[in-house]
Structure 1
């Protein structure tokens, strides 16, 4: 689990075996999942200056969404 100091995304978890990225957005207590995300995309998200901008440019609308339960 990784926590961010971001106004958009406050937490992320990545399952490398499943290639599943879970993101907790500000104001939400349940995660959204993204399928088939390569590990290097997760690493780049963690290293980004702005996780929100990285998400918008490299994750949103590119991977299948698994909505929160």
Structure 2
């Protein structure tokens, strides 16, 4: 599945607008400010939802030069996480 197609599929399934990014393992991410949920689409059709993520953390991810490093340091293992697999 192509990157744009993949992110469109994530948007359709989550209702959250996804922002594409340049990263070795992250295709894109999106934030639901009402629910405080950060959605991250990884390469390999894996999507993770991080719950109760403050806007500042999401904004930090958006501004980070290395999305993967920022995610590992500030998000991973710090927020409740649910993983999903998209089917083609």
TM > 0.5 fold call? yes
* Structure 1 consecutive aligned stretches of length 4 or more whose deviation exceeds 2 Å: none
**Shift of residue 27 of structure 1?**
1.7
Structure 1 residue runs without a partner (length 5+): none
TM-score by length of 1: 0.91
2:67 equivalent to 1:51? yes
Kindly name which structure, 1 or 2, has the bigger radius of gyration based on alpha carbons: 2
Deviation at 1:10, TM superposition (A): 1.0
Considering Cα pairs closer than 8 Å and 6+ residues apart, tell me whether 1 or 2 has the greater RCO.
1
Mapped to 2, the partners of 1:36 and 1:22 lie a distance apart of 11
**Structure 2 unaligned runs (5+)?**
1-17
**Post-superposition offset of 1:67:** 1.6
Question: What is the SS of the residue equivalent to 1:67?
Answer: strand
User: How far apart are residue 31 of structure 1 and its match?
Assistant: 1.7
2:27 aligns to what? Answer: 10
Q: Could you say what the CA RMSD is over the residues aligned between the two structures, in angstroms?
A: 1.1
Aligned length: 68
| 1:1-53 Cα deviation digits (max 9, x unpaired) | 2110111211101000000000001122x421000000111111011010000
